[in-house]
Amino acid sequence: MSPSLGWLIALATCYPWLLAGDLLSDLTATWHLLVFLPGTLLVTPFLYLRTWQAVLLAGCVGLAFEARRPIAPGTFALLLMIVSVVAVAWRDRLNSKPAWLAGVTLNMLACALALPTSLAQTQTWTWSQWIWSYPLEITFAGLVAFILHRPITAWQTRLLEHSGMHKIQET
């Protein structure tokens, strides 16, 4: 396998989980909660990809995520690309023992950055609604990331290693 196509294989490991997140979001829509998975989906591939591949993957996952959401086109993709540069720079911390902590933190950070653009476009919000909905959404994103981190990581690790990719040991 060509190392330059690694991001495409990593995208293929993310897409089924994005679809599952969309379906779960439809179930939780009655409580005004969004199942937010992009941050969790990116942690494992970042360990296998070079910086430019990680940025490309983050942009594609961001565009796929915002396709069904009321987010300005390209906004979330750009935010994820910026987060990916920071995450790849801290690859050693992502590869440390509490990997679930990195997944939950990255997911909550991406959610915290994406929500203001999403909520501002859907409707007008008062401060009292922002005070309750914003922390609730971020907490829910962290809870979902905590619950789904292990199966997502196992799925992605197995597929990435089966395709011939190995963890990058650069610092």
Backbone angle region of 32, left / alpha / beta, with phi > 0 → left and psi within -120 to 50 → alpha: left
pLDDT at 138: 82
pLDDT digits (tens, 9 = 90+) for 22-52: 889 889 878 878 888 888 888 888 888 888 8
Q: For residue 76, give both structure tokens.
A: 């979330």
One-letter amino acid for residue 90 of the chain: W
pLDDT digits (tens, 9 = 90+) for 95-146: 665 676 777 877 777 777 777 766 555 555 666 666 777 788 888 888 888 8
Give pTM, 2 decimals.
Answer: 0.83
Q: Where are the domains of the chain?
A: 3-162
2 or 91: which carries more pLDDT confidence? 91
Helix, strand, or coil (residue 136):
helix
